[in-house]
Structure 1
């Protein structure tokens, strides 16, 4: 049976790719065939005739199997904007069915699939569906990345409510310290642990250009 997890965050730019890549590496270190998936990526650059984002490149580097790029990243857009708008500008519509198909193709090749969402939990993907709908269709347990900065408690609890309202299982969360000067950091961390009904599986301290390999050693699988 393939282990799979959906990685979401309390906002965009909170470290989802860092944590997703670290999770891929942590499972690989246990001898499992582990691969990352970024269904939708924006802000991509053209390399060797294909649009690829730094996020996807990080997941590819962390994975210990070579999966087709079309399965790892079905949708890639040049502009670093909301994915549904990027898709409209490109003249296409993001299909959740296509993403689910690519996910199942990855499942056939790996013991572990780490699926990284785009932006926060409720970012629109097309005119009718958002990232939360994708998580529901994949029906995966969720790991939430919390950006530890002012306002994190409210953002985290709203995301938890959104996850639970979709009938999904939040199985863990990671505290990622983005602000090295965050006041009362420990008190905020305690407040989150008291309120989130899932274990904190990792605390990532602030560090400039911290690598996924380093973070992988900080996660409690």
Structure 2
């Protein structure tokens, strides 16, 4: 019987395209099917609170207890969690998001500004630990795939070293063809297995003529499978409902890797 890979990487064509939303919904989808799914993000920037916003969002999407801090309405149409004090233990937080920086910038620069540097060996060790703790580990990227983690290491090259099957998240509207095709080409040059691509709507009603052609063009020229399109949703329950058929397709695609 085929099984899902032990780890799945959720990458993106750019920053702010919805990969945190897709990551959280994928973890939630797997858990609702009885799979012990975990979450890890190697680096988070723009962290104003102890609990990174990305992790707080994933916790909210997976039904974990909400963190204090209120709400801010702008996560692809969904009210997002504003991180307050974390109730995670320090060890859990270190495992989930090993590097956290205050400057909202590329990790290499955010680390420079704090006199720090991301240690790839530490990331590999914590990745191995987190993967061993779960049936499936969903690893969320940071920014686009060619973002530098250090001045010597691109995010995509660490993914290639680990040979992680990758789910690519892209905007559904104008401008996504170029970003998507370039990212797919970079992934394949490094022999990274591509599970497929998920579109995420960046606006409530993007022009269907553009979205439909983007889907066809990227599928054909990028030689990849489009696993679905997530619309902007007003709340978490509607997002889970909209994601369910996408989650089914992702699961089937991952069984092939």
- TM score, norm. by length of structure 2: 0.78
Q: Separation in 1 of the partners of 2:7 and 2:140?
A: 11
Partner of residue 22, structure 1: 25
Q: Separation in 1 of the partners of 2:192 and 2:202?
A: 27
Q: Separation in 2 of the partners of 1:156 and 1:188?
A: 10
Partner of residue 154, structure 2: 130
1:193 Cα deviation from its structure 2 partner: 2.0
Structure 2 portions without partners, runs of 5+: 65-87, 252-257
1:195 Cα deviation from its structure 2 partner: 2.4
Partner of residue 8, structure 1: 11
Structure 1 portions without partners, runs of 5+: none
Q: Separation in 2 of the partners of 1:181 and 1:31?
A: 35
From 194, 214, 218, the counterpart of 1:170: 194
From 100, 109, 123, the counterpart of 1:76: 100
Aligned residues of 1:35 and 1:60 also touching (Cα < 8 A) = no
- The alignment covers a number of residue pairs equal to 217
1:163 Cα deviation from its structure 2 partner: 0.5
Q: Separation in 1 of the partners of 2:141 and 2:154?
A: 10
Determine if the alignment matches structure 1 residue 198 to structure 2 residue 198.
Answer: no
Partner of residue 91, structure 1: 115
When residues 210 and 155 of structure 1 are mapped into structure 2, their CA distance, relative to the original with a 3 A threshold, is farther
Q: Secondary structure at the match of 1:202?
A: strand
When residues 91 and 101 of structure 1 are mapped into structure 2, their CA distance, relative to the original with a 3 A threshold, is same
Q: Separation in 1 of the partners of 2:234 and 2:212?
A: 20
From 234, 237, 240, the counterpart of 1:213: 240
1:3 Cα deviation from its structure 2 partner: 2.4
Q: Separation in 1 of the partners of 2:45 and 2:173?
A: 24
Aligned residues of 1:77 and 1:86 also touching (Cα < 8 A) = yes
Q: Deviations over 1:16-60 (max 9, x none)?
A: 1001111111111110101111110001122xxxx3221111234
Partner of residue 35, structure 1: 38
Aligned residues of 2:230 and 2:243 also touching (Cα < 8 A) = no
When residues 19 and 216 of structure 1 are mapped into structure 2, their CA distance, relative to the original with a 3 A threshold, is same
Q: Separation in 1 of the partners of 2:22 and 2:242?
A: 7
Aligned residues of 1:28 and 1:64 also touching (Cα < 8 A) = no
Q: What root-mean-square deviation, in Å, do the aligned CA atoms of Structure 1 and Structure 2 show?
A: 2.2
Q: Secondary structure at the match of 1:110?
A: coil
